[in-house]
Structures are given as C-alpha cells and as structure tokens.
Amino acid sequence: MELGLGGRRAIVTGGSKGLGLAIAAELIAEGAQVRICARNADEVAAAVATLGDGAAGRAVDVRDGDQLAQFVEWAAEDMGGIDILVNNAGGAHPGTFETLTEDALVADFNVKVLSWFRAVKDALPWLKASEAARVVNIGSVFAEDPDYRFLSTSVNRAAGLNLTRTLAQELAKYGVLVNVVNIGSVKTPQWANIHAKRAPEKSEEQFFADQSAAIPLGRFGEPDEVAGIVAFLASDRASYISGASIDVAGGGSI
C-alpha cells in the first residue's frame, strides 16, 4: 500500500528506543524525514545512527516546556516544516490509590498529558502550514478500561484521550488530523519497571508468561505492530480519520 509519506517531515518524541524507535524507523522507511528526542543524549545518538539517512535528534526532557519548545523549533527549521507529530514519550508509575504518591501522579501527568498539550501548541504554526498535518498520540487502553493497579496511568491516559478528541474537534478547521493509538501489552522498556513494581518475586520469563496468558491473542505485541498503525494514521490513506482511538492490544486490555 502506498502511504504517500515521501518527503513528509515528522517529529517523534521518546524516539530513542522501544516503540518510539520503531515508529521513527517505519516513517523513514516510508520516505519521511524524522527528528527524534529523548532524555539520554547517548541513546539519541545511537538511535540516529541506527535510523540512518533521514534522521536526526536531540536530547530533550519533554517535561521541560522550554526544552520541548526549542526542540520543536529546531526540528521545524531543520526540516523546513512539520507535517507529522507523534507524541510517544512516556513512563509509568505502577501503583494503587493507597500506594501511589502525589508526586508520581503529577510526574505522569507532566509526561502523558502536559507534554502532548505543549508539543501540539509548539508545532501548531507549522502544522497549520502543512497540506497533510497529522498528530498521533500514543496512549494506553487503560484510558477506557482502567485498572486500579495502574491508577496513575488509568487517570492520565483518560485525560490524554479526551485531549486528543478535543484537539481533533478544534483543529479540524485547519486540516490538522489528531488521533490516538492505545497500546496494550507491547514489548517496551517500561515493562521492566512494571515487573519490578508488580511482581519482583517472579522471574522475567514467568512474569511475561503470566501476562501473556491474559491476552486473547496469547502474546505481547511487537513495537513494529504499533508503528504500522501510526504510519497509516500519518498517511494520505487516513485523510478522513480524526478524533479516532485505535486499540493495539491483541484483543484485550493489558
């Protein structure tokens, strides 16, 4: 399928590893230029080397509004504009209401909601000028199927889902399409943290086997299985899709 991404200019936050790296690679494979950011400069450099032609990046903490704004401006100037914004940067603080701290809840909000708000606002002047502007937010199935063991993710991802939908309504007049991809159990570095918090007494093999048993398809998803959906939503083939929430979760929640 021809996606029509040749020459498009994309930003992927949290693009140095895992899901973000897979998304950046998919977009480049389809002909787009990509600028990535993540907190660790060495990991950004390694990711850019892996991605090859069409990629560049900077070390950025998306929780810092000034850093994020400077990155978006640099990326736009470096590529000559922005057509695609993928808000992928994330993190997880597993915990119930009784165990979760207020600081953890706020930290997750800053990454999972506020950074989306800021990134779209920063990129909007260039997105308005694009003939095929796309925003794809990477959320979680907890947005609509909450789990008390992941209270912070459940609460903040619900906020992110509604941020996506309201942006889709407001920015439609500019031709900016905004969608969210909600992931379930997909192999990302975050799962090491979840394992440590949720079941440290279990081996990694046993933990992932137990998690897979609860997924209708019986396995974790691969990053490239999410990346393909993101590329589609960023493409000409998705020109009448906005405000959509697409689950990539193997038929289940997480």
Q: Compute the distance between CA of residue 238 and CA of residue 135 in angstroms, rounded to an integer.
A: 12
Q: How many CA atoms lie within 13 A of 218 on its CB side?
A: 0
Residue 1 exposed, middle or buried by CB count within 10 Å (0-12, 13-18, 19+): exposed
Q: What is the pLDDT of residue 229?
A: 97
What are the beta bridge partners of residue 86? 12, 136
Q: Mean pLDDT, 10 residues at a time, over the chain (254 residues)?
A: 92 96 97 97 98 97 97 98 96 89 96 97 98 97 93 96 98 98 83 68 76 83 93 97 94 69
Q: Compute the distance between CA of residue 147 and CA of residue 29 in angstroms, rounded to an integer.
A: 36
Q: What is the pLDDT of residue 79?
A: 98
User: Six-digit token pair at 212?
Assistant: 């897979």
Domains of the chain: residue spans and CATH = 9-248 (3.40.50.720)
Return the DSSP state at 174: G
Q: What is the pLDDT of residue 103?
A: 95
Name the strands in the sheet holding 9-13, side by side, starting at the edge strand that comes first in the sequence.
Answer: 55-59, 33-38, 9-13, 84-87, 134-140, 177-183, 245-248
